[in-house]
Structure 1
Amino acid sequence: MASKYQVRSISLPSRSHPSTLRVEEELNKLRTLEATSTSTSGSICNGLSGLEELYTSLDDLINVTSTQQIVSCHQQEKCVEELLDVSVRILDICGITKDNLLQIREHVQALQSALRRRKGDSSIGSKVAEYMSFRKKMKKIYKKLITDLKQMEN
């Protein structure tokens, strides 16, 4: 009869890539060089050669496929965020348009009822003036919305 064994596993932190370790090592060398050096030509030359090594190490790290995948994923996140921002802005524009259409409808109904009542030219005149000022305001709002849409297009 087979006995049951309980298997345990431990998770250790993943090891850093050798290129990452090399970059950290070069940075530490530059830090110690900066802390201990004087401004002589030899120390400046050592600092420049350390910078060259750091640059080479960073170039190696950037060319690693896992780094390329991370950068690619980050660029996709940026793209998704931009798309979300644009879609939210379009939803805002749609909401503003809907609200404005409802207001136009209310103004037209008020104008029609004033025309039906014909209590006097002053009430009709005031309703027409209200409608015209509202219409002017709407034109300004829609011009701004159209420029916003054109900017999103670019």
Structure 2
Amino acid sequence: MAAASPLNPKANYHIRSISLPSKPHPLFQQCEDYLLRIIASSDANSSSSSAISNKLSCLLDLHNCVNELFQLPLTQEAFVRERNEKWVDELLDRSLRLLDVCTAAKDALIHTKECAREIQSTMRRRRGGQSGFTNEVKKYFASRKVVKKAICKALVTLKSCEKKSSFSSTNKDSVAVALVSVLREVEAVSLTVFESLLSFISGSKAQSKMMGWSFVSKIMLNKKVACDEEKSEVNEFADVDAALSCLVGQETSKSDNISCNEDVQSDLQQLESCSQDLEEGLECLFRRLIKNRVSLLNTLSN
């Protein structure tokens, strides 16, 4: 079972048990092995950046295996026989939706990373003093608001895909049945990994804890110890959200402010590194998803 959606904590994606009625080629078993690896990593319920990067890597391996499956003559023949089946059209439609979600995740990472770099640049050069820094932070949070809105939209897309994921073949062809079974599970775990990634980028835990915080509140945010306690429970994106809120909202001595600046810069650097790793993983996966779709379209057009 995957992590609950930040839009609805009680809503979960369920990975169906894998059952291949026929395994005409070892690649079907290889796909199943990759599926089980991803399911196992999801069951571990880890939402760290390294864990999500590992899931993306496993997902890339899975879709690479799917592409090899698409190249088999027996698989291509099955697709040609099934080209008029409803599940083939649904597969093509949802492949576009996955590409849209992948693009949304990449855009969210790039947007957040660029804004974080602007803050780092301002802090290093001391441009505009405290007011200049505060303005950059306001821009950052405005950007985060846009990012989270886009993530919410992408999560809705994921939910719509999940609700329609029970496609099946009306034929009894063993290869077609095996294909449908594998591709159904590939879609299910892909949805789960993307949801985990989007939830991570949104920093949903930090958001729920910060709902009552005013941006300029100096009553709650001037307690650095409390902020440090919160940071232990969130990811790199949520760490930066919380740290920047604390820094612009608190009144500190000069020495304390220097220490806070160093902490924030460290958080921003970690966010940039994390974003870069996730972005690279997504880019590889995005290219593979496109190639798989092209391969399928070429087969169906023959």
Tell which structure's C-alpha radius of gyration is larger.
Answer: 1
Bigger helix share: 1
Q: TM-score, normalised by structure 2?
A: 0.26
Q: TM-score, normalised by structure 1?
A: 0.49
